[in-house]
Structure 1
Amino acid sequence: MESAGWVNENYYTSIATAGSPHELKIRRIACQNELLQQLNMIPIGEWLSRVNAMHDLIAKTAVQICEAQMREAGYGPPPCAYSFIVFGSAGRQEATLWSDQDNGLIVDGEPDGAKNRYFEVFGTQLSDVLEEAGYEKCEGKVMCSEPMWRKTLQEWKEQLEGWRSQLEWEPVRYLIIASDMRHVAGNAELSAQWLKAYHEGFIDNEKLSTAVLRNTVRHKATLNLLGQVLTERFGDYAGGFDIKYGMYIPLVNSVRHLSLSHGIQESATLNRLTELEQLGQYDYLVDIRTAFLTALRMRSNTPYITQQNGLLLSSDYISEQDLKNKQLMSELRGRLLLVRRIHRALQRQLRAAERRQS
């Protein structure tokens, strides 16, 4: 995805010079409101690059604020090099203006008591700083405050190997989360070594690829047998359509699976598609790219966006009212037909792989 030479330079400088979590939140809100005004005025890919450039800058500033807080609290400077990394939509550079936290830490060297104590406090503090800056804590606890996502490089390698060796639903789910890892702040070499160790585990490992594919094809139906869009039947969003889990996530998952199969180390879906296109092995990638951009646009334009203390919230649902728009419904249905086609192809691929390995 494109880097940002983006909004007004004052917003960039303002975020980078924030000296407290409260200042960071105020400056984030100002930048976010500027970005919201740009939505639909520029291509969605470029707009999302600007949004994620803002998120990265906030994260880097939060790391600096946290280091300063640690010194003020008597912990001193970091005892060794470390890397702050992100996962999920942030890792893929696809975070919305209302995305929550998905992050971790890679710590250099061997674990010891003093180092562990420092980064346990640092990880908890950093997650709190980000929360105060407007990023809700991850319900799945994929955060640097959690021991599973805060480890030395060697401990990370051992954990990745453990996940790869089990091939069960939960460890494979963690591996899939980890596949979207991206370096944001700190020592980039630690992140590079982490990535190398991660992707080496997939080389000539058909059983692991099959296990990832088994997780990938779990996907809720979005069209009925007649090809009609399935909407929510009950609850606050009855009559609406979940664009995140109905369209965006299935496309992300499909492209991720193909990328892991070919050793592609990019984390952003659009960048993964570019590398897959260069292989010349798939004839439907242009359609996937178009559908993915549609999913990004629809997700960013859901009508349930609200503000709470200046921060944006959204449900990721297209409303029942918007679905009455014939052009939108036609476009949505066309993209979902592609999603279903890809899903069925992956199911056939999984059945063939399981027959080979039985």
Structure 2
Amino acid sequence: MDRLALERFQRETSRARSLQKLRALRDQVNEEFGRRLLFAEALEWNREVNEYHDALIRRVIVLSEERLKEEWGKAAPLPYAFLLFGSGGRGEQTLWSDQDNGLIYADPSSAEQRLEADRYFAELAARITEGLEAVGYPPCHGQVICTNKQWRKPLEDYRRMANEWMREPDWEHVRYLLITVDARSVYGDEALRCALIEEIYRYTAAQPAMLEHMLRNTLHHKVSIGVFGQLIKERYGEDAGGVDVKYGAYIPIVNGIRLLAVEAGSRRSSTEERIQALIAGGHVPEEIGQDWLEALTLALKLRSMTPYQLEEGRYVTRGKLTADQLTKERVTELKQCLRIGTDLQKYVRKNIPKEINKG
């Protein structure tokens, strides 16, 4: 999509007065971006896709606020921020990503204000979630979503929860920590997100052993390439003969980069910006960092080529390239991506323990 067309869609989105109009715009945009994928530079294409996701999500939030004010006669009782996690937090959503989000608000000054805030933000979260579903975003299967009280609370409660995770770093708690590190504020008071993220970075800097717990989670997903350089393909079911691009290529890359960024103290949330910061800060040789950017570019492109379908009006995908899509060109790109991903995991496995020992 050319820049003028994207800006036009963003303007129309910002003026839309109904979810039906937003849904029609989203369907148009998805078609436009889908046609352009094979001819675009992958990182730039990804940035533009996520600019539009942000605009769409913001408009759903604004409409939800306005309708709640019309019905209840009052606005939000406290400053708040709407957070995106997962690929949304990293600014790497595909055209069919689901909802991974949360809501954080300022600490209430009294028990009465807390009750008022809890009631208001629970209702706002429900309306935002319904609105996002109406424009095609399915809810997160893992319940990382603002309608879940775990991901909708005041800043102090979020801080307390993060510290509990860090004091008891079992597998699930570390998984939640890493999800939180990817958080990005798409609407509202950015200072609330920053305060939460700083809690995690301060603790990790003071307790480098925390990185060891993060390392185990980070390396959980293996790159989908065998010891002899062959692709590891799906063996059964409707995806037989295909390759899991999401969990076999993309996730291992972004997980490895995220941990290196945490160790380096980089507060960036996008994988591209994290790599650039690691290079600029001298934390990784430029040649290696450029290889990681190449792998990320390929992973984003290939992940965006996976088939999708509409289920109950929502965009969904299994994140896998089909056997028919594995042309000679695609296989070459995929193997290059996976080879670099394997090297990245080796780099992380070798270097993170070194930094722990230094600490």
With the length of structure 1 as denominator, give the TM-score of the two structures: 0.91
- 2:206 and 2:116 mapped to 1: Cα distance? 39
Given that residues 261 and 278 in structure 2 are in contact (C-alpha distance below 8 angstroms), is that contact kept between their aligned partners in structure 1?
yes
Given that residues 260 and 352 in structure 2 are in contact (C-alpha distance below 8 angstroms), is that contact kept between their aligned partners in structure 1?
no
Given that residues 214 and 350 in structure 1 are in contact (C-alpha distance below 8 angstroms), is that contact kept between their aligned partners in structure 2?
no
- 1:183 and 1:276 mapped to 2: Cα distance? 22
1:272 to 266, 274, 277: 274
Q: Secondary structure at the match of 1:201?
A: helix
1:290 partnered with 2:267: no
Deviation at 1:163, TM superposition (A): 1.0
Deviation at 1:351, TM superposition (A): 6.8
1:140 aligned residue: 142
Q: Residue by residue, what CA displacement relative to the aligned partner does 1:318-352 show, whole Å, maximum 9, x if unpaired? A: 221232x3332233223212222332343345677
Q: Residue by residue, what CA displacement relative to the aligned partner does 1:288-339 show, whole Å, maximum 9, x if unpaired? A: 110110111111122x23456776443321221232x333223322321222
- 1:155 and 1:56 mapped to 2: Cα distance? 26
- The answer to which of 124-133 and 177-186 deviates more is 124-133
Matches within 5 A, 1:122-141: 122-141=124-143
Deviation at 1:204, TM superposition (A): 2.9
- 2:232 and 2:354 mapped to 1: Cα distance? 29
2:37 to 36, 39, 49: 39
Deviation at 1:108, TM superposition (A): 1.1
RMSD: 2.2
2:89 aligned residue: 91
1:301 partnered with 2:305: yes
Amino acid at match of 2:42: I
In structure 1, list runs of 5 or more residues that go unmatched.
Answer: none
Matches within 5 A, 1:18-37: 18-37=16-35
**Paired residue total:** 351
- 1:292 and 1:94 mapped to 2: Cα distance? 10
Amino acid at match of 2:81: S
Q: Secondary structure at the match of 2:145?
A: coil
2:195 aligned residue: 193
1:61 to 47, 59, 62: 59
1:78 aligned residue: 76
- 2:320 and 2:36 mapped to 1: Cα distance? 21
Amino acid at match of 2:244: D
Amino acid at match of 1:185: Y
Matches within 5 A, 1:113-262: 113-220=115-222, 222-262=224-264
Q: Residue by residue, what CA displacement relative to the aligned partner does 1:123-164 show, whole Å, maximum 9, x if unpaired? A: 122111111111100001111111111111111111111111
- 1:331 and 1:265 mapped to 2: Cα distance? 30
Given that residues 62 and 126 in structure 1 are in contact (C-alpha distance below 8 angstroms), is that contact kept between their aligned partners in structure 2?
yes
- 2:156 and 2:83 mapped to 1: Cα distance? 16
> Would the alpha carbon gap of residues 14 and 228 (structure 1) be closer, same or farther in structure 2, given more than 3 Å must change?
same
Q: Residue by residue, what CA displacement relative to the aligned partner does 1:102-123 show, whole Å, maximum 9, x if unpaired? A: 1111111226111111111111
Given that residues 254 and 271 in structure 2 are in contact (C-alpha distance below 8 angstroms), is that contact kept between their aligned partners in structure 1?
yes
2:102 aligned residue: 104
> Would the alpha carbon gap of residues 6 and 153 (structure 1) be closer, same or farther in structure 2, given more than 3 Å must change?
farther
Given that residues 29 and 311 in structure 1 are in contact (C-alpha distance below 8 angstroms), is that contact kept between their aligned partners in structure 2?
no
Amino acid at match of 1:19: R
- 1:343 and 1:184 mapped to 2: Cα distance? 30
Q: Secondary structure at the match of 1:39?
A: helix
Matches within 5 A, 1:308-347: 312-323=315-326, 325-347=327-349
Given that residues 6 and 50 in structure 1 are in contact (C-alpha distance below 8 angstroms), is that contact kept between their aligned partners in structure 2?
no
In structure 2, list runs of 5 or more residues that go unmatched.
Answer: none
Deviation at 1:5, TM superposition (A): 4.7
Select the structure that is richer in helix: 2
1:9 aligned residue: 7
- 1:6 and 1:141 mapped to 2: Cα distance? 37
Given that residues 135 and 314 in structure 2 are in contact (C-alpha distance below 8 angstroms), is that contact kept between their aligned partners in structure 1?
no
Amino-acid identity (%) = 30
